[in-house]
Structure 1
Amino acid sequence: MNYLKLLIGFIGLSAFLWSCDNDDFLERYPLDQVTDAVFFKHSSDMEIYMNQFYNRGIFPLKYYSRGDVGSDIHMTGRSIDSRLEGTLTINAGPGLAYGSIRGVNYFFDNYKKCEDEFETYKQYMGEAYFFRAYLYFGLLKNFGDVQWISTVLETSSPELFEARDPRNYVADKIIADLDSAALYLSNEKTNGHSRLNKWTALLLQSRVALYEGTWEKYHANDPFGVDNPQPEKYFNKVVEATEKIMNSGLYDIYSTGSPETDYVDLFGLRDYSNNSEVMFWSKMNIDLGVHSHRTLDYLSWPRAMGLTKSLADSYLCVDGQPIAVSPLFQGYATIATEATNRDPRFYQTIFTPDAPWLIKDGNTTNWVYIYNKLFTNEDLTAPTGYQRRKDYNPNAVYHDMNFEETPSIQFRYAEVLLNFVEAKAELGSLIQNDIDRSVKKLRDRVGMPNLQINSIVPDPNWEFPDLSPVINEIRRERKIELVLEEFRFDDIARWAAADELLVGKRPKGAKSDQFSITPPYSDDENGFIDPFGTALPNGYGFNINRDYLYPIKETELVLNPNLGQNPGWDD
């Protein structure tokens, strides 16, 4: 649907409540017949209206997450990502979708009609601010400058045909909305799946501020820079928001004291109601028709997706040193030897031959191992040989080919710590105590040595050799802790890092001669799987002067020429 139609079309209200425990949805007014005379009179109406934005089609419920495919750390062998390849066309990619934003603005235009006390519905006010901020953040990442619209427009509204607002103006509006969200939302931890709270709003605010701050810093001298950049303003906001969460004492890193399993176990739990780390998650219930679609069954097959050597090489050895210098690194002969003496997150993210792939009962003789079946058919082919383990629960009892109740983590405390420490490093105010409050907690979970600011071992393979050692190590920590959680391309974009990580590069895999069945791909000169060796002889052609933002589609420019085009797309 084009831009203008989305703006002026009435928001279709969702007929199902995805993340609400209330049973009164069966008694509500028909949502296709909402009128001002019926709705917004009582706080219960406000609650019902806001329930639609918890719908998995709007909120970031990661049912179908491909886990950073379309970046340098996870790839699919079935096609080459057109954005990374540099072949995206002007009418491809997402459109300027304002439909859900209009739905939130409809709430703001009508909430004052409520006859109940403000205290009874301020939670839903906070949710409206949160969702508008979340939706606009998606537009900001995709397009940069966008029109900030905070009320319902009509077909004759002149705002429909105005130019886009500058991205930093929009970022400030998003951050302000999240200030309001944090003010009105509950400050209780709650069960983490029914309704949003203040702390999740502050986490999202830190994410937005870190994105804009690093974007303004690292894109300052390219076509994507802003007038009068103020990255420090945003970094300070990150620190402010994250310290509020950290100082609340409500959250902590999940750990049972088992460094060999705690990280992978976190993503395979069946309930997060009392989990110390998970701040918001999606709860499923087949009996109520709330379920994910083949989540575990889908993940149980590689389906031509594989993690890359770029990721595998990033894990430090257990002495805290990079593989290029550590005497503990055992080499590349097999994935098992690669994982030996490495950060335990390596083998808790990437399957090793001894990790059970399918547990049918407690008897180990009935367990199935992925590397006994890899490359036997297309669905069982991981083009790099590195098969995803994170997010996967191997217990057969939880697998269903149609529907299942696999929960999904949406926001977790680990990101709070990583946002905090990165912002402090970017401000130049990072001290060892900041590391101890953040990175150390993540490393303690897996039994890894802490990062010591004054004794960082140089890595000849740092991804960002022109930046400081501590920023390189903080970015490494983010890469391996948040892998497969859909952060990686956003990080590449905000760091203006495609020239270091994408341009002229191809995704590589493990040594091909270790597999009992020969992978159906070419090898590079060192014997590593090279899935795109023939298709991309010169590596990815990502255009650093164009491809960080999507184009404004021609149909949208016809409706409103004042929108203008993003850099590089007029050529």
Structure 2
Amino acid sequence: MKKYFIITTIFTVLMNSACQNDFLDREPLDATTSDVFFETPGQMRAYLNTFYNRKNFPKYANHGSDFNSDNEVAGTPDIRLQGTRVVSTTGTIGFGDVRRINFFFDNYRRVEANHELEEYQQYLGEAYFFRGLIYFNLMQSYGDIQIITKELNTDSPELYNPRDPRNKVADFIIQQLDSAAIYLTADKTSGAGRINRWMALLIQSRVALYEGSWEKYHDGTPFGVDDADPDKYFTKAAEAAEELIDGGVYSIYSTGNPGSDYKDLFSLLDYSTNSEVMFWQNFDQSVTQGDGDFTNDRFFRMKTPTNKTITKQLADTYLCTDGRPISGNTLFGGYNTLASEAENRDPRFYQTIATPDQVWQILPDGDIEYWSDAYNKLNSTADYNAPGGYIIQKGYNPNTTYHVQQYEESPGLIYRYAEALLNFAEARAELGTLSQADIDKSIKLLRDRVGMPNLVLSDIATDPNWDFPDLPPVINEIRRERRVELAAEGFRWDDIARWAAADELIVGTRPKGFKASQIAENPFPVDENGFLDPFRNAIPEGYGFKLDRDYLNSIPESEITLNDNLTQNPGW
């Protein structure tokens, strides 16, 4: 356990300002002493800048971010889904960030002597936000985790504490975010600078929904929680999301073009005035070029599939334009071609999955190439390998002027308002209190953007292919909406984990792709119905995810050796 805290803190200031540079010139960066820091609000700000990093704010990733789930398929099976991970023998849980944020709380109060609260309350709010976010990441990875609220030394007795139960950790995280919301600015800001109270509410709704779902659906399993109270967390999730919604600061981005607005949202170059994007990363290569943490080339990478594709499982999720599922629907055009499959579908289908008739590249001379040209090249080279066939275009900008290897200025989309609407609807549905009015202020807004019919609670069409046939229809449809709206944004595994849904969605399954007959070259296996089956040889029995183990990571054996009070996670 001592290893968690025996570290040297190295500061990397991510935002440039004259006052920060003056501050950094004062003392060496390999020291963290209370005699150096936190005499002014500017010093608090400079310290907190080190938490604005990709670890805490992973940007919208190249080719999507759902390759650890059933939404996307890469060149090799994910090891968690495959069930082939082994216990970590060395390493740490990652308490370095806990130590660093606790250092802030142990030392910031000296600022009070010469400054009014309003001068530094933003930074105090940020510190609470980051402590909550750090602990949420730890809880998602390990479940039970020690709650440490002060900087510890190598001989501190707290180093040998047992882990605190996950519901106690969840309560701690929610409390931190409550405090963050009190102190953080309520201004919308440009979204590329500092966090605000609305982001604290968004993450609070995310945390509470996660824990409520975990306690409800893991009940009676090795991951169950003593004294579980899922409704407490669902209530908090709904309240936090509704406060954000009713604040009226954000709204769904729409120009009135349902055929492209959803796709365009993810390929914009600037979100500073965007109504939906709450937080994003601006890549200004005149400032960041040469800094490895800012290497960026999303548009460049997404020009070709490079072994990264959408699964048939996700493609089948999209409703037809009448708001009904594809099963038995006369509007569904069938699987023979991608064009027919996209016909009469929720427009988010072809705004997420590239279809042959859409623009692939706008070349510097103004010439235009279409995705049909890319599909004709599938599997001809490594860059065009496509195990699922369906090429991802969500997050891609076809204008090659903006495609730059390594030093691209494509922005990173981090938080968006749509998640709050989905969190609100799901929490209310789990509580059993979801009304049509609730749908109209949440799901309807997402469907309006793409011209889809509203979800009407009294007229939910039965789908024989629902993922969760034992759950109420409204839960299935809310989960469908979440999957479609947030596809390729990195939410899917967390949803599978909190719903304890690997038995329905992962175990014994393999990712499938589109009809293999559509492409001239195909190095991948094909199933008995003609669909791409890329992992048939690698995992002939399907994914071997271990239901009694793989929902959480293992605690490194070296840490258990150092602290006799630490216990291993189930199944490891």
TM-score bracket, normalised by the shorter chain, equals over 0.9
Q: State whether structure 2 residue 101 is matched by structure 1 residue 96.
A: no
Q: In the TM superposition, what are the counterparts of 1:270-289 in structure 2 within 5 Å?
A: 270-289=269-288
Residues 249-268 of structure 1 correspond to what in structure 2 (within 5 A)? 249-268=248-267
2:392 maps to what in 1?
388
**Residue aligning to 1:479:** 483
Instruction: Give the Cα–Cα distance (whole angstroms) in 2 for the partners of residues 303 and 271 of structure 1.
Output: 27
**Matching residue's letter, 1:134:** L
Q: Deviations over 1:116-158 (max 9, x none)?
A: 2221111001101111111111110111001111110011111
Q: 1:28 aligns with which of 10, 19, 23?
A: 23
Deviations 1:400-447 (A, max 9, x none): 112111111110000000000000000000110101111000000000
Partner Cα distance (2:498, 2:135) in 1: 16
Instruction: Tell me the residue number matched to 2:104.
Output: 107
Which residue of 1 is the match for residue 357 of structure 2? 354
Stretch deviating more after TM superposition (42-51 or 298-307): 298-307
Q: Could you tell me which residue of structure 1 aligns to residue 312 of structure 2? A: 309
* CA distance in structure 1 between the aligned counterparts of 2:91 and 2:453, rounded to whole angstroms: 43
The TM-score, its normalising length taken from structure 1, stands at 0.96
Q: CA RMSD in A?
A: 1.6
Aligned in 2, Cα 1:463/1:96: closer, same or farther, shift over 3 Å?
A: same
Distance 1:292 1:405 in 2: 10
Question: Is 2:7 aligned against 1:12?
Answer: no
Paired residue for 2:548, among 525, 535, 545? 545
Q: Distance in 1 between matches of 2:569 and 2:450?
A: 43
Q: How far apart are 1:282 and its partner, in Å? A: 0.5
Task: Give the one of 555, 558, 561 matched to 1:558.
Answer: 561
SS in 1 for 2:239: helix
Matched, 1:82 2:100: no
Secondary structure of the corresponding residue to residue 405 of structure 1: coil
Amino acid in structure 2 at the alignment position of 1:107: F
Alpha-carbon distance in structure 2 between the residues aligned to 1:194 and 1:464 = 41
Give the fraction of aligned pairs with identical amino acids, expressed as a percent: 53
Deviation at 1:5, TM superposition (A): 2.3
What is the rounded CA distance, in whole Å, between the counterparts of 2:118 and 2:8 in structure 1? 29
Q: CA deviation at 1:482?
A: 0.3
2:136 and 2:35 mapped to 1: Cα distance?
33
**Contact 2:91-2:558 at 8 Å conserved across structures:** no
SS at match of 2:415: strand
Counterpart of 2:552 in 1: which secondary structure? coil
Match of 1:189 in 2: 188
8 Å Cα contact 1:356/1:370 also seen in 2: no
Question: Which one of the candidate residues 31, 53, 57 is aligned to 2:51?
Answer: 53
* Contact 2:267/2:397 (<8 A) preserved: yes
1:404 aligned partner: 408
Q: CA deviation at 1:356?
A: 1.8
Within 5 A, what are the aligned runs for 1:417-456?
417-456=421-460
**Cα separation, 2, equivalents of 1:446 and 1:62:** 21
- Residue 209 (structure 1) aligned with residue 208 (structure 2): yes
In structure 2, how many angstroms separate the alpha carbons of the residues matched to 1:65 and 1:100?
Answer: 29
Residue aligned with 1:548, SS: coil
Deviation track 1:245-297 (CA, whole Å, cap 9, x = no partner) reads: 11111111000000000000000001111111001111111111164422221
- CA distance in 2 between counterparts of 1:157 and 1:65 reads 45
Worse-matched range after superposition: 298-307 or 85-94: 85-94
State whether structure 2 residue 335 is matched by structure 1 residue 337. Answer: no
Q: Distance in 2 between matches of 1:95 and 1:323?
A: 47
Distance in 2 between the 1:523 and 1:65 partners?
Answer: 24
Matches within 5 A, 1:456-475: 456-475=460-479
Poorly superposed stretches of 4+, deviation over 6 Å: none
One-letter identity of the residue aligned with 1:248: G
Tell me if 1:173 matches 2:172. Answer: yes
CA contact (8 A) 2:57 2:414 kept: no
Of 361, 370, 377, which residue of structure 1 is paired with 2:374? Answer: 370
Structure 2 residue matching 1:567: 3-state secondary structure? coil
1:505 aligns with 2:512: no
1:43 paired with 2:41, answer yes
SS in structure 1 opposite 2:385? coil
**Post-superposition offset of 1:486:** 0.6
- Please list the CA deviations of residues 339-391 of structure 1 after superposition, one character each: whole Å capped at 9, or x if unmatched: 00000000000011112222115845555632132211112111010111101
- Distance change in 2, residues 1:123/1:75 (3 Å): same
The answer to whether the 8 A contact 2:71-2:314 is kept is yes
- The answer (yes or no) to whether the contact 2:378–2:521 under 8 Å persists in 1 is no
Compared CA separation, residues 271 and 122, structure 1 to 2 (3 A): same
Give yes or no for contact 1:63–1:293 (8 Å, CA) kept in 2: no
Q: Distance in 2 between matches of 1:258 and 1:64?
A: 25
Q: Is the 8 A contact 2:358 2:370 kept in 1?
A: no
Residue 490 of structure 1 is aligned with which of 491, 494, 503? 494
Superposed CA offset, 1:189-243 (max 9, x none): 1111110000000000000000000000000111101111000000110111011
Alignment-derived partner of residue 245 in structure 1 = 244
Cα displacement (A) at 1:13: 1.5
Residues 94, 453 of structure 1: CA spacing in aligned structure 2 closer, same or farther, 3 A cutoff? farther
Q: In the TM superposition, what is the alpha-carbon distance from 1:64 to its structure 2 partner?
A: 5.6
CA offsets per residue over residues 284-333 of structure 1, 9 Å max, x none? 11111164422221222212111100000000000111000221001000
2:324 is aligned with 1:326: no
Give, in whole Å, the separation in 2 of the partners of 1:459 and 1:371.
31
Q: Aligned partners of 1:434 and 1:182: how far apart in 2? A: 24
Report the count of equivalent residues.
562
C-alpha displacement of 1:24:
3.3
- Higher mean alpha-carbon deviation, 63-72 vs 314-323, is at 63-72
Q: Which residue of 2 aligns with 1:153?
A: 152
2:87 aligned partner, one-letter code: I
User: For residues 94 and 549 of structure 1, what CA distance do their matches in structure 2 show?
Assistant: 16
One-letter amino acid of the counterpart of residue 549, structure 1? L
* Counterpart contact for 1:60–1:410, Cα < 8 Å: yes
* Letter paired with 2:470: D
1:317/1:342 contact within 8 Å kept: yes
> SS of the counterpart of 2:231?
helix
Q: Which runs of 5+ in 1 are unaligned?
A: none
When structure 1 is superposed on structure 2, of 92-101 and 37-46 the one drifting more is 92-101
Aligned-partner residue type, residue 225 of structure 2? V
Checking the alignment, whether the CA contact within 8 Å between 2:3 and 2:92 is kept in structure 1 is no
Q: Does the 8 A contact of 1:12 with 1:32 survive in 2?
A: yes
> Distance in 1 between the 2:155 and 2:89 partners?
29
Normalised by the size of structure 2, how large is the TM-score? 0.96
Whether the aligned pair in 2 keeps the contact of 1:58 and 1:100 (CA below 8 Å) is no
